[in-house]
Amino acid sequence: MASPGDATLDTSHVGKNKVPARYWLELQKEGKDEAEVGKDAEPSRKRLRRKEKKKEKMKEKKTQKAKKMKQEDTLVKQTISGKSDPFPGPAPISQDRVRKFKRKTKTKRSGSVGNKLRDVISRSEEASEMAQKQSARFDLLLPEDAGFLEGDEDEDTCTISQEDIADAVDITSGAKYFNLKLSQFGPYRVDYSKTGRHLLLGGRRGHVACVDWQSKQLMCEINVMESVNDVKWLHSEAMYAVAQKKWLYIYDTNGIELHCIRKFNDVLRMQFLPYHFLLATASATSFLQYLDVSVGKEVAAICTKTGRLDVMCQNPHNAIVHLGHHNGTVTLWSPNQKEALVKMLCHQGGVRSIAVDKTGTYMVTSGMDKKLKVFDIRTFKPLNSYFLPAGSSCLSLSQKGLLSAATGDVVQVYRDVWSTTVTKPYMAHRVRGTVWGLHFCPFEDVLGVGHGDGFTSMLVPGAGEPNFDGLDANPYRSAKQRQEWEVKALLEKIQPELISLDPHELGQVDNAAFEQRHQDRVQALGFDPLAKAKFIPKYKKKGRSSAGSVERRKKQVAHEDQRDVIRETMEDKMKIEEERRQREKKAAVLSGQKSALDRFKK
Amino acid sequence: MAKVSSKKKLSKTKAKKSSEVAGDSAVKKTEVVYDEEEEEDKEDFNENVTSEEEEEDGEDERRRQKLLEAISALGGKRKKTLGERSEAAVQLSEFSVNAEGEGDKINLSDLIGSMDKTPQVSAKTRKQLKTLQQSNRTVESPLSKQETERIQRDVAFQKAASEQLVFPLNQEAPGPKPMERVVTGWKARTPLEEEIFALLSANKQPIHDPILTPQEEVSMKAMSLEEAKIRRAELQKARALQSYYEAKTRRERKIKSKKYHRVQNKAKRKDFVKQFEEMVKSDPAAALEELHKMELARMQERMSLKHQNSGKWAKSKAIMAKYDEGARKAMQQQLEVNKDLTQKLVTAVNDEEEEEEEEDEGGDPEVLPDFVNDAEQGVDSSNPWMRGKLSEDPAEKETSEIEEVKETEEEALLREFDSRRKRRQALIPVISLDDDEEEESKTAAEEEEESKTAVEEKEESKEEEESKVAAVEEEEEEEEEEGLEETLMRIRTLEDTEELLMQEESAADEAPVPPPAAENPPPASQPAGTNKKRKRGIELKQVLTKATKVIQVPLAHTVEDAEDSDDNQEQRGLIREAFAGDDVVSDFLKEKRKQEAAGKPQVVDLTLPGWGEWGGTGLKLSRRKRKKFRMKAAPPPPRKDVSLPGVIISEKRNRSITLHQVNTLPFPFETHTQFESTIRTPLGRTWNTERTVKKISKPKVVTRMGAIIEPMAREELMKDRNQTMNILSQAEQREEQKLKCERINKNKCKQKE
C-alpha cells in the first residue's frame, strides 16, 4: 500500500549527494529495500540463488546419492538439439506470494536427532514447502483484483452519488443499485446468503421476503403476523431462520414454516456459523443459545447474566460470538464455556454495534458515547478511535475490509480504518429512513441497507472479494452443485467442541501442566491410577517388627529408583577426584625436583 | 611287522639294483642317526650299492623318503605331515636336517635382520619396515558376525522405511518417459540394429548425442583456403621485414662516422623524452621508476670522482691541455657531463666524444623532464625544502602567520585552563604546549565543553574567525560524542554545519510522533507477588483512553432513531450516556479484581483451635502456629491480561478441546515443537493443490493387482552398497576408537603402577 510513496522518497534520497549520510535515512532505505524485494520477483530470485549457493557451500559434504541425482539432472538438461534451456529450472515465484501461504514458522533444527525423526521432519518440511509453493503458483489463477472509486482532483469520493456511479458503470453493475420501497412494514433487517445470490428481508412488522436480488426474482413473501427481530439464512438458500416476537421459526424458500423452536425464545439477534452448522441466538433474557441446524439439537445455552442482548456478531476466523452490552463491554463466547472467554471494556456508554473482519484480526465497535473504535482482537488492544458526530447504530465489514457505518439515515463507508487514521468517509449515501440493518453482499461490490422505508442496494466499489472459491461458496452454482456442496459441507462439518479462541490450538500438543492433565484423569476415572502404593513392611513376629527394624526395612527400599543415578554420579565424582589427585601428585613430583638453590629455601 | 618289512626289503633291493646312490649322499645318510633296526639294514644295503647311474639318485631319494614316511605312518604315532626342508616349517622331517631353534616364534626382526645387509632394498621400505617393527599394534579383528548383521539390518530397515514402496519391486515406472532418457538408455538389440551400430562406431559417428564426429570437429577447427593464404602472406611479409631490419642494423653498426652517430643519438634522446612523457601519462608507476633511476644515477655521479678530471686520463690531458685544443675540449666536456648529471634541472646534455665514459653509465637517460622538479608524492610535503616549487599561495602564508599569532593566545588560554583545572583537581592530563597547532585547538574545544565560562572568555579574546573555527569544531565534537552517525562527508564551512543542524531539526520533526494517547504501559515492573499493588496499578484513567479522531461526515442525518422500541429504554440509555465514565469503568475493574482473586490459590488452614493453647472464642492464633499450619500454595503463573487493564481473559481451561488435542508426543518426536511443525500444514483439498494433496497422502505401500509379491530379497535391500559399506566402515572405526580408548586406559594404568 505504501510502496508508491516510498518509491518517490527513495528517488529523492538518491538524488541528493551533498546530504551527509544519516543513520535514520539508512534505516528507511533498508526498509524500502525489503519492500522492493517483495515487490518484484527479479531481485528476490537472485537472492534466492545466492542463498542456494551459500547452502551448497555449507553442505560440502554430500552423500553420493545426491551426487547421482545431480548427474541425472545434468543428463536431462542436455536436450537432443544440444541447445540449453534459456530458462532452466522451475519458474520463479514471487516471494510475496509465497509468504502469503506461509503456515506458522518452521522450527529450528535442534542439534542431534535420530535417523527416523530426521527423516520424518525433513519429509514434512518438504511437503509443507511444496504446498506453500504450489499454492503460491496457483495464486496466479486468481486474476481478479479489487478496484476502488477514485475521484477527480479536489473531489471527495464521498460526494459522488449512487446515481452517478450507477450511470458510469456497465448495465449489469448499474442494475445492482436499486431501492425497494417498503414503507408499510417498518424498518428492515437484511441478510445475504453465503454465496451472495439471495437476499433476505425481515420487516419489523412481520414482513419476510426472500429475493434473488440479482435477477430481482421474488422467491417468497410472507407476513408472519408477529414482530420480527432478526432474519438469517441458514447454510443454504433453502432455509432461513426468523426470530419472531416469542419463538424462533425456520422457514423454507416457499415460505412454509418448517420449525418452531420453542426452546429459543425472545431472540433478538442471530448469527449463523456456516462451517459448524450452528445458529447462535442472543435473546432478551440474556441467553446465548446455539442450535445445531444439521441435527436440530440445542448445543449450548449460556446465561450471560448481562441483560438484554441486542448486539451480536461473529468472528468468521474462529467462530467465536461477540456480544455487546449496555455497560460498554464486549464479551467473547464459545459454546464450550459457560463464562465469557474474554471481556473487554470498549465504550463508556453502551455498545451499539460490533463487526469483525474476515481474517479475525480486527474488531470495530460503536457505542453510545458516539465513538467508533478499532481493536486488534488477537492482542485485545485498541488500535484506533474515532469520534462520529452522531454515533453509529449499525456496522458492517466487507470481505475486503471496508467498513460501513450507519448514523441515522446516512450510510457511510470507510476504507482502511485500522491501518490508517481516517478523517472522512470513502462513500456516503442518504437513505429514506433510519437504517436498521446493514450487510455487505459477499463477492459483490454491493451494500444492502435495510431501513425504515424499505431496502436500498448500494454500489460500493472494492467491497467484495473478486475471487470466489467455487468449491466453498459459488455464486453461480447450479442446483446439482448446491446439493453436492451440501453433502460435502455436512461431511466436513466442524464439531462445536472445536471452537476455541485460537483455532491453531488444536494443532498444539496439550502441554498443560502434568498435574492438570492428571487431575482431569482422576476426575474422569474417580481414582488416581498413577498413585503408587506406599511401602508397608510386612508384619513379623517374634519382636522383629519393632519400630526400629520397621524403619530399617523402610530405609532399605527408600529411593530405590534413584539409587542407580546416585551411584553413577558418585562414581563419576570419585573418578574425577582421583584424576585430580593424580595430577596434583604429578605436579608435586615435577615441582619437587630439587634445584641446587633449594637448600637456601626455608 | 617283520614280514612286511622283509617284503619291503625285497622290493627295495630291486629298486636299488636299478639305481645307484652317489657317494656323498651315502656319506650324508651315514651321519643321520636312526633308531630302528630296519634302517640299519637299509644302510647296509646302501653301502653295498654301487654308484652306476647318478642321474636317477634324486628320484630314488624321494621315493625312499616316501617309503619311510609311509612306514612311520603305520606306527600311528606321527600323523603330522612333515614339511620338506625346502620350505619354512616348524616341524621338519626327521630324516632331513632340522632348522636351528626349532619351535621358536619367528619375529619380524628375524626376517628383517638380513635386510640391512642387502643393498637392493630401498631406504623407503626399510623405513616402513622399521616403523612396523617398532609399533606393537596388532591388526584389529573384523567385526563379529552379529555386529555386521545388525548393521545390515539397520540399513535394510532404513531403506524399507522410505517414503513409498511399490510392489512388485524393480518395475519400471509407467507412463511416457522423457525423450532424452529413452535416447540415452537405448541399446541395440536386434541384429540389424547391432550392425548399424557397428557401422556407426566404426566410422566414429556419434551414437547418443548428435554432437559432431571427431573428423567433423577437426574440419570445423580447420581454416579455409583463403584464410590460410592470407596467413601465409602475413608470415612471409613478417619474415621479409625481419630480414630487412637485421640487414639495416648490421649496416648501421658498421658505420663509423661521428656525425652520423651524433645525429642518431640526438634522435634517440628525443625518442626517449617522448616515450617518457607518454609514460608519465599512461603508466605513471613506470615513469616514476625511470625517474628513480635517474635520481640514482645523479647520486652515483655525485658520490664518485668520475668526470671530475681527477683520473689518470684526465691528468694526462691536463698536461696536454695547455697546448692541445682537443684535450682542453675533452676536459671541458668531462666537466660538462658531470654538471649535467649532478644537476637536477633538465638540460639536454650530450657528449658524443666521450663514448668510453658513456659506456660506463650504461646508457643512462641524460634528459630529465620538467616534472622532476615537482614534489614527489611520497616525500613529506610539509618540508618546504623538499618541494620543488613554492606551492603555497601568499594568502595561505598570511593565514599561517595569523595562526602563529593565535597560537600564542591559545597558549595563554591553555595556561589559564590548566590553572583552573588544577584548582578543580580534575583528572584530565595537562597538555604540553609544544603540540601542533591543530591538536591544541581541538583540545581547546574540548575544554570549552567543560566550562562554559571559559568558552565565553575565549570567544571574547579571540578573533572572529578563530571563534568560528572553534564553534565548528565544537559542533563536530558534540556530534562525535553523540555517536549518532558516521558522516562520510566532511564539514568544512560554517554553512555546511548550519545545513547539518537544520537537517537534524527537520529529522526531529519528521520523527514519528509517539502515540498521543498514553497507551498504558504494561505494569511489568511491579512485582507479581503483591497483588494489592497491582490493583492500585490499574487506574481508571488508564482504561478507555485512546485519543479519538473526529470524522467529518458530509451528510448530516436528519432522521432520529425514532423507531426504537421502547422509549423507556432509550431514556435509560440516554441517562447512562450522560453518567457514563467512572461508573462503567470502576464496575469493570471491580470485576477484574474479583476474577484475579478467584484465580489465586487459597491458603489451606490446618490449625486446630485450642490445640496446645488456650481454647475459646475470640482468641488469636499464635504466630508459630500460623506459620506452621497454614499452607500457602505456589503463586499461579501470571494472568494473560496482566498488561491489559481493560480486558479480562478467562483463565479457565477449554476442556472440550483438550479431548481432541494430542497429549503425549508420538514416538520419534522429542519436543512438542517438532511435532507441531510437522502437522502445521493442512492436508485437505480445501487448502492444497491437487498435486500437493497427492504427494502428501501418498500411500506407504503400493501393490499392483494380480502381481505376485515376492518376499524382499536381501540383495534388494542391500542394493545401495556404498551406503552399507560406509556404515560398516563407520562401525569399524567406532570399534577402533573403542580399542584405542581401552589401550589408552591400559597405558594409564601402567603409568599409575
Tens of pLDDT, residue by residue over A316-366, are 999 999 999 998 999 999 999 999 999 999 998 899 999 999 999 999 999
* Cell numbers describing residue B482: 553523540
Q: Are the CB atoms for A221 and A209 separated by under 8 Å?
A: yes
Q: Which residue has the cell 568558552?
A: B455
* Cell numbers describing residue A524: 474422569
pLDDT of residue B458: 46
pLDDT of residue A382: 92
pLDDT of residue B59: 81
As a whole number of angstroms, the distance between CA B543 and CA A55 comes to: 51
pLDDT of residue B606: 84
pLDDT of residue B619: 78
From first CA to last CA, the distance across chain B in angstroms is 64
Phi, psi of B187 (to 5 degrees): -135, 150
Which of B540, B555, B576 is the best substitution to test chain A (most A C-beta atoms within 10 A)?
Answer: B555
Which of B677, B686, B696 is the best substitution to test chain A (most A C-beta atoms within 10 A)?
Answer: B677
Angstroms from A419 CA to nearest CA on chain B: 14
**A190 vs B214: which has the higher pLDDT:** A190
Q: Are the CB atoms for B15 and B63 separated by under 8 Å?
A: yes
B653 to A497: CB separation less than 8 angstroms, yes or no: no
Region of residue A259 (phi > 0: left; psi between -120 and 50: alpha; otherwise: beta): beta
B488 to A135: CB separation less than 8 angstroms, yes or no: no
* Tens digits of residue pLDDT in A112-136: 677 788 888 888 889 999 999 999 9
- A/B interface, count of CB pairs below 8 Å: 305
Which of A85, A107, A322, A345 is the best substitution to test chain B (most B C-beta atoms within 10 A)?
Answer: A345
pLDDT of residue B358: 42
3-class SS of residue B475: helix
Q: Which residue has the cell 479522531?
A: B549
Mean model confidence pLDDT for chain A: 84
pLDDT of residue B734: 65
Q: pTM value?
A: 0.54
pLDDT of residue A508: 85
As a whole number of angstroms, the distance between CA A71 and CA B382 comes to: 66
B contacts of A384 (beta carbons < 8 Å): 546, 549
* Tens digits of residue pLDDT in A16-61: 445 555 555 554 544 444 444 344 444 444 444 444 444 445 444 4
pLDDT of residue A435: 93
* Tens digits of residue pLDDT in B363-407: 444 444 444 444 444 444 454 454 444 444 444 444 444 444 444
Distances (CA, A) of A341 to A333, B284, B376: 6, 82, 84
pLDDT of residue B492: 46
**B610 vs A263: which has the higher pLDDT:** A263
Domain boundaries, chain B: 669-697
pLDDT of residue B748: 57
* Cell numbers describing residue A498: 472445536
As a whole number of angstroms, the distance between CA B490 and CA B497 comes to: 10
pLDDT of residue B370: 45
Stretches where chain B sits below pLDDT 50 are: 1-52, 345-381, 383-384, 386-407, 425-497, 500-501, 503-537, 561-566
- Is the pLDDT reported for residue A248 higher than 90? yes
**A506 vs A59: which has the higher pLDDT:** A506
pLDDT of residue B727: 58
pLDDT of residue B612: 79
Side chain identity, residue A348:
Q
Side chain identity, residue A152:
D
B641 to A517: CB separation less than 8 angstroms, yes or no: no
Q: Are the CB atoms for A286 and A307 separated by under 8 Å?
A: yes
pLDDT of residue B240: 96
Q: Which residue has the cell 510392489?
A: B167
pLDDT of residue A79: 58
* Cell numbers describing residue B432: 604540553
A contacts of B661 (beta carbons < 8 Å): 505-506, 508-510
B178 to chain A, any CB pair closer than 8 A? The answer is yes
Angstroms from B149 CA to nearest CA on chain A: 19
Helix extents (H) in B255-393: 258-282, 284-303, 312-321, 325-342, 355-361
Nearest to B335 by CA among B369, B299, B311, B316: B311
pLDDT of residue A299: 95
pLDDT of residue B99: 53
| Residue A330: its H or E element | strand A329-333
Binning pLDDT at 50, 70 and 90, where does residue A195 land?
Answer: very high
3-class SS of residue A144: coil
Nearest to B668 among A18, A114, A326 (CB): A114
ipTM for the predicted complex comes to: 0.72
A118 alpha carbon, distance to own chain's centre: 31
pLDDT of residue B501: 47
pLDDT of residue A304: 93
pLDDT of residue B749: 54
pLDDT of residue B101: 56
B657 to A410: CB separation less than 8 angstroms, yes or no: no
A-proximal residues of B, 283-312, CB under 8 Å: none
Distances (CA, A) of B181 to A74, A86, B121, B201, B211: 12, 20, 55, 21, 17
A346 to B646: CB separation less than 8 angstroms, yes or no: yes
pLDDT of residue B217: 74
